[in-house]
Chain A
Amino acid sequence: MRIPCPFCGPRGNEEFTYLGDASVQRPDPTAPAAAQAFHDYVYLRDNPSGLHQELWYHGGGCRKWLVVTRNTRTHDINDATFADGGARP
């Protein structure tokens, strides 16, 4: 599996560290149902069979966090962008 890093180009997945689902959003801790929202945020996952947006850290390269869109059934990677929203240099 080679991840097309927007800075370094396509690199083997052993250079990267996986964090997980990129679509979960940290909830507002002051909201009324914050405890339940945090439970969902920390523990519950859609875990789709198909396209999955996920966070990878390129520790063996540019040291940027990436959002990778990958098909979990085939390991095909459709897209990789900087997680902080930065543009491709």
Chain B
Amino acid sequence: MADANSGWSRTLLWGAVTAILYLGVFAYADDVIRFARTTTDACVVGAGAEAVYYSKPTPEACAEKGGTMVQGNWLLVFLPILIAFAISYVHGAFTSNFWDSVGLRAASKKK
């Protein structure tokens, strides 16, 4: 019984951390998109959720669209890698504990 309880406690703990990470990504979804789209120079038309990103921009074409030129930063490419790693690790631990707590386990012997 104590084992089952500690299993669920672990599951809830990993679940809470997973939820926080996901909430973080989606609360800042506009920034997440902006970072993804500006690893190279871009022309941004509009703002927030409505922003449209053009790649390979020229100042003239960008001005014609009423957009703003943004200088690219290639280091931003590491951001999705770090976030994907963090979420994958935490969420993986959560789901593994979840199925264990629910009682779903692999068969002891393959047929």
- Judge: A and B partners, yes or no: no
